[in-house]
Structure 1
Amino acid sequence: MSQEAAAGLCLTIDLNALVGNWRRLKDLVAPAECAGVVKADAYGTGIAMTGPALFAAGCRTFFVAVPEEGAALRAALANHDPAGSAAIYVLAGFFADAAELYREARLSPVLGHFGELQSWRKWPGRDKAALHVDTGMNRLGLTLADTEALAEAGGPGPGIDLMISHLACADEPEKPLNERQRERFAHAKALLGLPRASLANSAGIHMGRAYRHELCRPGIALYGGASHPEAISDPVVTAEARILQVRTGHPGETVGYGALETLRRTTRIAILSAGYADGYLRAAGSSDMASGALVSIGGHLAPLLGRISMDLISVDVTDIPEGLALPGKTAELFGPNVDIDAVARHAGTISYELLTNLSRRAHRRYIGGVESGGPS
């Protein structure tokens, strides 16, 4: 018996689509380099498979959140990059108490404050690092005053070959903070004189050449999520839930916890084997006051009914041919027929959260990519 046959929720991860998205961005940003952001287990898609697929396509620079992720990526790349040529930057910086892991996995920290910079300089095992400058987000990074002081003190020193910052509002291109951040970043770049700089994330890539510099860092755009009004990205993840039962409800009856949705007609209700324990967000459900997300069954869209439970989702399949909505068949929660960003909007969130919340309980199967003789 296959693992897929025993699973309630199956995720199909299309590595060809992932690589296609990266190649499209690579061509768009040239002559700048196009990196790959693979933090949070490659946005829930599985770093052990997506990392090698991106490397085989030509990606040579990666970004992770923490050193543990970086070590996992280096291990995943071992058979494809035995020389360890890929650059892996750790966005959370330098964890001094995990210094040996940086050395073993050849990880480059992104340094964000003076204390961290000094700690890294004192470490005898240091190699390469990047410098993070905060241009208006107030998260990680040196302030512009810190950057000016660093420049006056002679610069960041040997081994630091990249400066980065992060755009706060690139998905809303009309916001004036975008231009202010671009100007501040250009000022910091001129002060420090580092050979490479990286400002543009998925959305920032579409802000124009002035935002791209020498290296771009797409994340969600690689995985099929929307990032900018002009962005094009093919779906990478298709989530399909098994239909467990189809039952009939009658007018005046309610569906699910809290009795939030009242039936207005005789209704065929399909019960799906997935829920918020699988990462399908509870807020995407439906009520008498607000409609919820849609699913697709046999190419036909159907609305959710009531609250999403831990392990179950109810769907109105009254208008779907009976032969399509049967126990043992599946419903697409998101994928080529149901836009993941539309589902996220119903849940009051973004596709980033939906992807990275996907449970390990879901069975993952991969199509395309290196292992199946796909793009290389």
Structure 2
Amino acid sequence: MAGHEAATPTTGRPHGARHTADRFAAVYGAAPTGIWAAPGRVNLIGEHTDYNDGFVLPLALPHTTLAAAAPRTDGVLRLHSGGADGGVVELRIDALRPTAQGGWAAYPAGIVWAMREAGLPVGGADLHYDSTVPTGAGLSSSAALEVATALALNDLYALGLEPQRLARIAQRAENAFVGVPCGIMDQTAAACCTEGHALFLDTRDLTHRQVPFDLAGEGLRLLVVDTRVKHELGDGAYAERRAGCERGARALGVRALRDVSGAHLPEALAELAGEPGVPALVRHIVTENQRVEEVIACLDAGRTRAIGPLLTAGHASLRDDFAISCPELDLVVDTALAAGALGARMTGGGFGGSAIVLVEEAAAAGIGTAVTEAFAAAGHLEPRIFEAVPSAGAHRLQ
């Protein structure tokens, strides 16, 4: 489940390392020590399973947050975003306190705080950010910002941390410092994904495996449709559904809903009959974990087209059992399927954001046009449509 998308805003155009280095020098008066990048992500399947100790299958996007950074020796943290209003945010690292810092700067400040809380020898820094990860689209701009910061500090202070440790630090920053109770999926995807693969992550023990996902080689494309809407009930509804899942686990006497098998689902639902609203949440989590495993089996067998119906079934479950879809997301899915898509579903936390659509390469343009025309006919904002190309996780550019 994604955290809030209150991260460094995009400017709508791509950025390279040279541009970001130049912007750093313009802001701080000196060249940066280096440039680091971390991607946004889209989740292929496995929605709301991460905080239930379940399975997820994200992939990194080519859209990235770039961080130019240099160390400081005076205990000062200075933060600047090329896409945010206002100037440099200046903080003292020994005065950082959870939830005290608001806005986008809370995310990188939280990384410094979490590293110092873990006993790591992190000092001050100057950081400038540019980003092409869309905000508010459920594509985890927050995790991209966190992981880019964590990787930069890891190198600046020679911490020697592995990508999964950086992901855990980033999750702690978002949970404990920013105050968003997100799972570990987004940060792990940003830190650990590899080009041409989706990342199969077991969120209980954090073991993961790179699953080949060569869409182009099979004549396929995965489209992301950013509806450009976010309905206000999303944040509170997320907390309600998480609490409902936890109630279900307690009532069933299991550590988490991950421990309920598909074979035992009917009796589990019968046992939960006295818990209003909970059986539907449990049904989604159990069947969604099954769908993740089925999608992976298809990909391992080279049957990528066969995942289409599983994606669509996942959307129906999120719409009907978890009740977190919205008219715009349903319109994307229904229109794309009617126009010939192999499968489609909402992705991310729900109540807006983005949907993904699996299409034959030759049909991509027509399906995109059909969705755009359907939005216009319904009086919605024009959606932003782009291709999800499985890309690399966080890395140093220079």
TM-score, normalising length: structure 2: 0.25
Higher helix share: 2
More relative contact order, 1 or 2 (CA 8 Å, 6+ apart): 2
